[in-house]
Amino acid sequence: MAWTVSIRKGDQVRVIAGRDKGKTGRVLTVNQDKNVATVEHVNMLKRHTRPNPAKQIKGGIVEREGTIHISSLMVVCGSCNKPTRVGHSFLADGSKVRACQHCGATLS
């Protein structure tokens, strides 16, 4: 049985392990097949790029974000501003939403 990833694109997350431990950023992409996510300004890689005048690419050394495993990330709650595990709760209309484990607020 496959389990779902509790981190979504656009979430504010904090890195809890690795060389970028303690950094926070917004999730840019999530790959559920490989259990990795791309977070802005985290795990910066240097890529050597060849110039291509047809595509207006200058070339040189370009820095970009690499992927990081989702087990190294925790969602930051918007209301209590703490990194938290993601719980679930049901609204009055019966829809299931993600909730903060500290304050119980819904995570968007």
Question: Which whole number is the average pLDDT over 7-26?
Answer: 96
Quickly tell me which residue has 């209301």 as its tokens: 79
Residues 41-85: pLDDT tens digits? 999 999 999 999 999 989 999 999 999 999 999 999 999 999 999
Number of domains in the chain: 2
- Domain residue limits at 95: 78-108
Q: For residue 52, what is the domain's CATH number?
A: 2.30.30.30
User: To the nearest whole percent, how much of the chain has pLDDT over 70?
Assistant: 97
What does the alpha-carbon distance between residue 97 and residue 62 come to, in Å, rounded to a whole number?
39
For the segment 31-35, the average pLDDT, to the nearest whole number, is 94
**What average pLDDT score do residues 11-35 get?**
96
Same-domain status, 20 and 70: yes
| Residues 50, 98 within the same domain | no
User: Same structural domain for residues 95 and 107?
Assistant: yes
Pair (64, 45) in one structural domain: yes
Closest CA to 31 of 67, 3, 62: 67
Are 91 and 70 in a shared domain?
Answer: no
Residues 8, 28, single domain; the answer is yes
Beta strands per DSSP E along 4-93: 12-15, 24-31, 36-39, 44-49, 60-65, 67-69, 73-76, 83-84, 86-90
Judge if 4 and 45 occupy the same domain: yes
